[in-house]
Structure 1
Amino acid sequence: MKHLIAPSILAADFGNLQRDIEMLNHSEAEWIHVDVMDGMFVPNISFGFPVIEAVKKHARKPLDVHLMIADPDRYIERFAAAGAEVITVHYEACTHLHRTIEAIHAAGCKAGVALNPHTPVQLLEDVLEFLDLALIMSVNPGFGGQKFIPNTYKKIAALRQLAGGSSAALVIEVDGGVDTANIAALKKAGANAFVAGSAVFAAEDPAAKIAELNRTAAVAFDLHA
């Protein structure tokens, strides 16, 4: 199963954001993960359109925009215009989820749905065929640097099975506490996209850390082949 690393710029140095984006451009990362928080759906505020537009000017890799916001339908077209190539909304924040997914596709972006740690993967069954990506939160959303929740492995395996196994086109992304200690096991469970924030940007050499994460995931075999 092909995998990708998506470093989260929530953990980047905001005083040197262009420098960190250039580092990601030259690294083995395939996506740049952008966590948008509104202080309502989650108890934190991160950044919005001006920052995403500034990142897009320098990024040479797709922007994977994760909306941890209430009523995301209001802003889908604006996030697409700001430079998002993947837009992920939360199941818990969408009253009419299928409509939201259609709106993301209509805006020209790949559509993802994220699940909080308490939300069962079976709730995605009726929309899986319309999704490009499903994001399993392995921490409670809102803050970086949290402890990984072990139940994540079981949820990923259940979702991969629900999606049709490793031959399915669905990208299963995992976000929260991802590091070299667990990335292989996450891939074995069925994940193939890995968000890493603190693990990358707290490292002495972030680009080398991305390469290490990539190598560690690459040697993991797939239990769902």
Structure 2
Amino acid sequence: MTTPLICPSILASDFAKLGEEVRAITEAGADWVHIDVMDGHFVPNITIGPDVVKALRPHSHLPFDVHLMIAPVDPYLEAFRAAGADIMSVHPESGAHLHRTLRQIRTLGAKAGVVLNPATPIEGLEWIMDDLDLILVMSVNPGFGGQSFIDDQLRKIETIRVKLDRVGHPAILQVDGGVNDKNYHKCIAAGATAMVAGTAVFKGGPSMYASNIKTLKGL
């Protein structure tokens, strides 16, 4: 079984100690820092903006994996890139011209990802593959942490993996939502190569982060 990239979502961290939490998961062996940006419009929650990302940037050398759950998304790409985002993932529903958005992300020097909600079809991927570095499959409906994994999304992961392998595409296939030590192996078996985990990493406090990450890696 392939060892996945583990991308702890700071949505599940202690917001009163964000800098400390980012340092702690970095030292614990995380691969990326996953940052959920929500606007209270595209999804029913409000989290953080570019200024917080900028404030966190000095606390870790890891790639900042920024999931933009905002609409419209295009006006904010430059600000998040300037704040320190290394990867920016967007939803097809968050703007009128997905191809243009992905091109803009790459022009800014970041890696570009597309996010598929549970009900978002995969057919549109065929026309944007040349502009993708990452495909994120949501295994919950976005907006809140702590939700239960939607098993139907395993078939979506499998289908996308077949498409990627058929053409030899190197895109990272990421899963986000309800990931824990009970279902991560199913995601990896289905073809995922990166796992976003919130509660599964941050449970138990900083002394447990390294152990939690090792468990998710299957070590």
Q: TM-score range by the shorter chain?
A: over 0.9
Residue pairs, 1:69-88, within 5 angstroms: 69-88=70-89
Equivalent residue, structure 1, for 2:210: 207
Equivalent residue, structure 1, for 2:150: 149
Residue pairs, 1:8-27, within 5 angstroms: 8-27=9-28
Name the stretch that deviates more: 17-26 or 100-109: 17-26
Letter paired with 2:76? Y
The 3 A distance-change label for structure 1 pair 165 and 7 is farther
Does the residue aligned with 2:218 lie in a helix, a strand or coil?
helix
Does the residue aligned with 1:114 lie in a helix, a strand or coil?
strand
Equivalent residue, structure 1, for 2:55: 54
The normalised TM-score by structure 2 is 0.95
Is it true that 1:195 corresponds to 2:175 in the alignment?
no
Residue pairs, 1:1-225, within 5 angstroms: 1=2, 3-165=4-166, 167-204=168-205, 205-215=208-218
Letter paired with 2:203? A
For 2:149 and 2:119, locate their aligned partners in 1 and report how far apart those are by CA, in whole Å.
Answer: 14
Could you list the runs of 5+ residues in structure 1 that have no partner in the other structure?
Answer: 217-225
For 1:177 and 1:170, locate their aligned partners in 2 and report how far apart those are by CA, in whole Å.
Answer: 22
The Cα of 1:207 is off from its aligned counterpart by 2.0
Equivalent residue, structure 2, for 1:221: none
The Cα of 1:167 is off from its aligned counterpart by 4.7
For 2:98 and 2:182, locate their aligned partners in 1 and report how far apart those are by CA, in whole Å.
Answer: 34
The normalised TM-score by structure 1 is 0.92
Does the residue aligned with 2:65 lie in a helix, a strand or coil?
strand
Letter paired with 1:78? A
**Residues paired across the two proteins, number:** 216
Per-residue deviation, residues 101-151 of structure 1 (Å, max 9, x unmatched)? 000000000000001100111221111121000000000000000011001
Q: Please, what is the CA RMSD of the aligned residues?
A: 1.4
The 3 A distance-change label for structure 1 pair 166 and 17 is farther
Name the stretch that deviates more: 160-169 or 205-214: 160-169
Letter paired with 1:161? V
Could you list the runs of 5+ residues in structure 2 that have no partner in the other structure?
Answer: none
Letter paired with 2:180? D
The Cα of 1:3 is off from its aligned counterpart by 2.4
Equivalent residue, structure 2, for 1:223: none
The Cα of 1:73 is off from its aligned counterpart by 0.5
Does the residue aligned with 1:163 lie in a helix, a strand or coil?
helix
